[in-house]
Structure 1
Amino acid sequence: MANNRVRSLIAAIVFLILLALIIVAIFYFVRRNQQPTISDKSCPRPKQFATDYDFDYTTRSNEFQNLNSTISYFRLSLSWSPSFCTYSKQGPNLFQCQNNFTYIVHGLWPNAYGPPGEKRSMRHHPRNCRNEQAMSTDTIHKYFCLMPSESLMQAEWEKHGTCYWDSPEDYFEQINALYSNLQLPKNTEEILSNTTLTKAQRRSGIFNSFLDINPQLARDNMQVIMIHKGKDLKEVAICYDLNFNYTKCG
């Protein structure tokens, strides 16, 4: 009788352990499907990351620090990689330009609205709030598909991320969440290469391509910035309020 009780107890414990493992596995896969990871194995990465990517604004004549501006909204800037690679003198030597990236993250920027009617410049926004050490290569590897440049990742974290987030991991995880919730159009290259479209039609086409597949996005939540006399796309910006809901761009 005692042996039967022991066997029943062991069987119950094993069953509970298996049940717990199944619940944990289900929770893990649900969370993973809800929040896509950027560590996708299909994304190209350098065989070896750079080691000299740290950023120090105090050594750069064109940089400055602004600790006094109040954050009004956040701006997620998506760079159109083909245009950047075409017009950048460094393009042929950059990993980003040696691979087929399309929309990549330029940065997530805490911005200030300022008084109505006042012309704003980059100097009005929070910037370089802390001078941080180089982030770990583990963080770079995990989020490299968002922003495929070690030096750009470090610079964006220090110039903008330090003005709101505590760590680079917090900063890039926020970028990951916003980027993953956006649907990116597949027809941007088709719009830009269509020689029958006017400059205004190209810009409007890019606006509409985002709005058509992101029903929660409104036109004034976006900015489309063109270059090369309106023929090419530089970047698309999406604006968020302090709770990271879409808001009007400043």
Structure 2
Amino acid sequence: MESPMKTVPAAILAAALALTAAAAEASSLQACAVPKAVTPAPTEIPPPDEIHPNVPIAAYLLALYWSPEACRAGIPESDKAIQCEANRFGFTVHGLWPNGPDRVHPRYCRSSPPMRVKTVKANLCMTPSPWLLQHEWQAHGTCNWKTPEAYFKKTRQIRERLDVPDLDPGADGTMTAGEIRQAFIARNPGVPAQGLNVRIKQGRLTEVWVCMDLKFKWAACRGGNGPADAVVAAVTPRASPGQQ
């Protein structure tokens, strides 16, 4: 008996497959507003004292930036139009970092040309800055991955494995470091409190670093996990798109 698939005209089948592929590719971009025209950042020229290609990898961490604070502070790593005007992010991915056994970490292991437009667009909803994507690939990704596509695929896999909370600082706009850790632990029972490095700068939450071992399993942070649970931090509230 002839398979039903063989009764479908080749042209119709090809068109259906093309639409399915296009929909799958587009789905990764529908989580945020991505500009039609995106210009990849140029190749970064690293400071000579930050080039450490021969440091062995001892662990990994996923750095998550609290995007409302990035927009409030106007940090140069953020893209104002994409990150602060067209979208309303909570935590965004700063980067996936291979860490060394001590205070010196592998960095800028090799140079790299600007990434393809397709690669930049595919990752803007995760890391909403063409400059930061290029920087993270050159500074960190080149030390363990062959291509930016492979590096960001791994970054995305780890980010999707993590149920990242949307912080609610309450009426006074503050949370303790312990409350921030517990917000992650409540959604991710396998993540230990010692594996969450809460980053506070000038009294304000900036980032949360989620630590892993060499097999990308959640683990205690090798360099400590930041301030004590009782330390209070201002948490910049999320604004609607277009608001500052």
TM-score bin, normalised by smaller chain: 0.7 to 0.9
Is contact 1:54–1:151 with CA below 8 Å preserved after alignment?
A: no
The 8 Å contact of residues 38 and 143 in structure 1, kept in 2 or not, is answered as no
Distance 1:38 1:174 in 2: 18
Matched-pair contact (CA < 8 Å) for 1:38–1:146? no
Structure 2 match to 1:246: 218
Alignment correspondent of 1:56: 45
Q: What is residue 135 of structure 2 aligned with on the other side? A: 155
- Corresponding position of 2:88: 100
> Which amino acid in structure 1 is aligned with residue 119 of structure 2?
T
Q: Aligned pair 1:216/2:205, yes or no?
A: no
Residue 195 of structure 1: aligned partner: 172
Counterpart code for 1:13:
E
Distance in 2 (CA, whole Å) between partners of 1:66 and 1:221 is 25
Q: CA deviation at 1:226?
A: 1.4
Aligned length: 208
Name the TM-score, length of structure 2 as normaliser.
0.76
Structure 1 residue runs without a partner (length 5+): 1-11, 115-119
Find out whether 1:167 has 2:147 as its counterpart: yes
1:39 Cα deviation after fit: 1.4
| Alpha-carbon distance, 1:42 to partner | 3.7
- Structure with bigger helix share is 1
Asked if the contact 2:40/2:114 (under 8 Å) is kept, the reply is no
Q: Cα gap change, 1:140/1:84 in structure 2, threshold over 3 Å: closer, same or farther?
A: same
Instruction: Check the 8 A contact 1:161/1:168 in 2, yes or no.
Output: yes
Match of 1:208, SS? helix
Identity %: 30
2-side partners of 1:176 and 1:37: how far apart?
16
Aligned-residue CA RMSD (Å) = 2.8
* Contact in 1 for aligned 2:79/2:130 (Cα 8 Å): no
SS at match of 2:89: coil
* 1:46 matched to 2:35: yes
Q: CA deviation at 1:202?
A: 2.0
Shift of 1:158: 0.4
Question: What is the CA distance between 1:243 and its match in structure 2?
Answer: 1.2
Cα deviations by residue, 1:117-157 (Å, 9 ceiling, x for unpaired): xxx2xxx1000001001110111111111101111000100
Residue 54 of structure 1: CA displacement?
A: 2.8
Letter in 2 for 1:150: P
Distance 2:183 2:80 in 1: 31
TM-score normalised by L of structure 1: 0.74
Structure 2 distance, partners of 1:40, 1:155, is 21
Offset at residue 46 of structure 1 (A): 1.9
Match of 1:125 among 100, 105, 119: 105
Q: Distance between the aligned counterparts of 1:234 and 1:131, measured in 2?
A: 29
**Letter of the 1:45 counterpart:** V
For 2:99, the aligned partner's letter is N
The 4+ residue runs of structure 1 with deviation greater than 6 A are none
Q: Distance in 2 between matches of 1:216 and 1:45?
A: 33
